[in-house]
Amino acid sequence: MASTPIGVAIIGGGIFAQEEHLPAVEKSELLTLKAIWSRSLKSAQATHDLATKSKPDLYSSDSGDDKSFEALLKRDDIAAVILALPITNQPKYIEAALTAGKHVLAEKPIGPDVAAGKKLIEFYKKTAADKGLNFSVAENFRFIPSITYAAEQAAKLGKVEHFSARVLGLMDKDNKYYKTAWRATPEYQGGFLLDGGVHFAAATRLFLTSESKPATVSAFTSLAQEHLPPIDSVFGIVKTKSGGVGSYQQSAGSHLSAFEWDIGSEGGRVFLSGSKVTVKPVGGEESVKEFEKTSGVSEEVAAWAEALKSGKPNPLQSPEEALADLEFLEKMFRSGEQDGALQTYELQ
């Protein structure tokens, strides 16, 4: 006999909730969408109108006390929530959901800075962890098949000796994400380098594991496009714990275009470009595998649903992993502020 699907609510009615979270929840046989909350009824309704599998109840800040976020959290048929809110606002909603006894899948980053992320993890451990609640941070890049395959192949080749991560492009004013007010005028470090950059940090860290974890970094930052404050580019040199070295290049303000990871290990090379992975072991034959392009969100939500069903959190979605993603970038930002001063990683 099939188990009863877990009742969930989507918190946030923005672009990502509409285009990614809603379809991912509807795709899962383990989840059923009970409600949608947004700051405005208009955006909650817009998300609701896209639902095809169910017609969830609507809640918003402008719909009265009986349709508030707090009212939603009192519902016994909602066991879990998926949050996709502005970076600086999200922690308080996470805390409220955990306090109400709900499982949480919160969009990245875990907070606007490492200090806020640590505080949130401490709150979870003190108030909710011993109650069996699942607090996970969504990082879909850890579930994109081309990236996970490339990381698996690189791990087989041993210690990383050299690496290059390059994600370069231009966030122009016509982009739908730029038109989101809280992104266009960020109240958090890094601007788009943080908001989008934790994805690329997470992907890079999938290759830098075990003895090849990041140890130190020296980086430079700049603002090439005036509409992308406070910075739109970061170029860093990372040294690993085993002595390997590599470069991390990320820009949201560049006319250069790149989406690639090049990993040189003691046993060969793995090159990921777009959705194509090339593997060349030392003394072996080169293989090339191309993947269908996907955001990884459906895979990510499915993994979370399985974790809720089994009661065993997925380590790829742990808040500690998300905190390490954030630190990976934050140390580069601090180095850039200090004209390339060497920074030491502590959470990798």
> What is the domain partition of the chain in residue ranges?
6-139+298-316, 142-294+326-344
According to CATH, what is the number of the domain 6-139+298-316? Answer: 3.40.50.720
pLDDT at 326: 98
Looking at every residue in the chain, the average pLDDT score rounds to: 96
What number is the average pLDDT over the span 6-31? 96
Q: Provide the β-strand partners of residue 344.
A: 216
Q: What is residue 2's predicted lDDT score, i.e. its pLDDT?
A: 58
Closest CA to 75 of 6, 176, 142: 6
**68: its two tokens:** 């508030």
pLDDT band at 143 (very low <50, low <70, confident <90, very high): very high
pLDDT at residue 3, rounded to an integer: 78
Q: What is the mean pLDDT of residues 124-145?
A: 96
Can you say how many angstroms the Cα of residue 70 is from the centroid of all Cα atoms in its chain?
26
181 pLDDT band, cuts 50/70/90, is confident
- pLDDT-based confidence at residue 115 (cuts at 50, 70, 90): very high
pLDDT exceeds 70 at position 110 = yes
Q: What is the pLDDT of residues 253-264, one digit of tens each?
A: 999 999 999 999
End-to-end CA distance of the chain: 43
Same fold, 6-139+298-316 and 142-294+326-344: no
- Asked if 220 and 234 touch (Cβ cutoff 8 Å), the reply is yes
Q: How many CB atoms lie within 10 A of CB 75?
A: 16
Contact 139, 322 (CB under 8 A): yes
Residue range 264-295, pLDDT digits in tens: 999 999 999 999 999 999 999 999 999 999 99
Residue 119 to residues 132, 186, 196, Cα–Cα distance (Å)? 19, 21, 22
From 84, 82, 246, select the one nearest 154 (Cα to Cα): 246
Q: What is the pLDDT of residues 320-334, one digit of tens each?
A: 999 999 999 999 999
**Confidence band (pLDDT; 50, 70, 90) for 37?**
very high
Task: Enter the CATH code of domain 142-294+326-344.
Answer: 3.30.360.10
Give the Cα separation of 33 and 67 in Å (integer): 16
Q: Is the pLDDT of residue 128 over 60?
A: yes
User: How high is the pLDDT of residue 341?
Assistant: 98
Query: Model confidence over 55-100: pLDDT tens digits?
Result: 899 999 999 999 999 999 999 999 999 999 999 999 999 999 999 9
Percent of the chain with pLDDT over 70: 99
Computed from CA positions of residues 269, 293, 149, 324, in that sequence, does the dihedral angle turn out positive or negative?
positive
At 70, phi and psi to the nearest 5?
-65, -40
pTM, entire model: 0.96
Is it true that the peptide bond before 109 is cis, omega within 30 degrees of 0?
yes
Give the β-pairing of 160-170 and 253-265: antiparallel
Side-by-side strand order, sheet with 245-251: 287-290, 276-281, 268-273, 253-265, 160-170, 245-251, 233-240, 214-222, 343-344
Q: Is the pLDDT of residue 1 over 50?
A: no
